[in-house]
Chains A and B, each alone.
Chain A
Amino acid sequence: MQPIVQVEHLQKSYEDLKAVDDVSFEVYSGEIFGMVGPNGAGKTTTIEIIEGLRKADSGSARVLGMDPTQSREELAERVGVQLQQSALPPRLRVVEALELFGSFYRQQADGKELLKRLGLEDKLNAPYAKLSGGQQQRLFICMALLNKPELVFFDELTTGLDPQARRSMWGLVQEIRQGGATIFLTTHFMEEAERLCDRVLILDHGKVVALDTPEALVGGLGVEKRLVFTLPEEQALPSLDGLPAVSRVERSGSRVIVYGQGRRFASSVVVALEDEGVDLVDLRTEQANLEDVFLKLTGREMRE
Chain B
Amino acid sequence: MNAIKTLTIIDFKLFLREPIGTFFTLAFPIILVLLFGSIYGNEPTDLFGGYGTMDISMPGYTALILTTVGLMNIPITMCSYREMGVLRRLKVTPLKPMSFISGDLITNLGMTLLGMSFVVLLGWLLYRVRFEGQVIPLILGVIYSSLAMFSIGYLIASLAPTARVANVVGLVLLYPMVFLSGAGMPLEILPESMQNISKFLPLTYVVRLLRGLWFGLPASELWPSILVLGVILLICGLLSARLFRWE
Binding site for B on A (CB under 8 A): 51-53, 72-74, 76-77, 79, 81, 83, 85-89, 91-92, 96, 99-101, 103-106, 140, 143
Contact = CB atoms under 8 A, between A and B. Distances in A.
A100 B99 CA distance: 13
Nearest to A90: B84
15 contacts: A52-B91, A81-B92, A83-B92, A86-B85, A86-B88, A87-B85, A88-B89, A89-B14, A89-B86, A92-B14, A103-B3, A105-B93, A105-B94, A140-B89, A143-B89
A87 B86 contact: yes
Contacts of B197: none
B242 interface: no
Contacts of B91: 52-53, 72
Interface string B77-90: 00001001110110
Contact of A104 (B14, B85, B86, B93): B93
A53 B93 contact: no
Contacts of A91: 14, 17-18
Interface in B1-21: 2-3, 5-7, 10, 13-14, 17-18
Which of the listed residues B3, B13, B89 has the most CB atoms from chain A within 10 Å of its own CB?
B89
Given A88-B89, A91-B18, A99 B94 contact: no
A89 B6 contact: no
Nearest to B15: A91
Contacts of A86: 85-86, 88-89
A96 B86 contact: no
B87 to A, nearest CB: 9
Complex A-B, nearest 3 residue pairs according to Cβ-Cβ distance, in ascending order = A103-B6, A86-B89, A87-B84
A72 B91 CA distance: 8
Nearest to B6: A103
B96 interface: yes
Contacts of A51: 92
Nearest to A76: B94
B73 to A, nearest CB: 13
Contact of A103 (B7, B14, B18, B86): B7
Nearest to A101: B93
Interface in B124-140: none
A218 B10 CA distance: 50
A260 to B, nearest CB: 47
Given A52-B91, A76-B94, A85-B85, 15 more contacts: A53-B88, A73-B96, A76-B93, A81-B92, A85-B88, A86-B89, A87-B84, A87-B85, A89-B81, A91-B17, A92-B10, A96-B10, A103-B3, A106-B94, A143-B89
A91 B85 CA distance: 15
Contacts of B2: 103
A96 B13 contact: yes
B14 to A, nearest CB: 6
Contacts of B92: 51-53, 76, 79, 81, 83
A52 B88 CA distance: 11
Contacts of A83: 85, 88-89, 92
Interface in B45-77: none
Contacts of B3: 103-104
A88 B84 CA distance: 8
B32 to A, nearest CB: 27
A79 B91 CA distance: 12
Contacts of B10: 92, 96, 99-100
B78 to A, nearest CB: 11
B231 interface: no
Given A86-B85, A99-B6, A104 B247 contact: no
A92 B84 CA distance: 13
B173 interface: no
A87 B89 CA distance: 7
B5 to A, nearest CB: 8
B95 interface: yes
Contact of B94 (A92, A104, A140): A104
Nearest to B100: A104
Contacts of B89: 83, 86-88, 140, 143
Contacts of B247: 53
Interface string B10-40: 1001100110000000000000000000000
A73 B13 CA distance: 27
A79 B46 CA distance: 68
Nearest to A74: B94
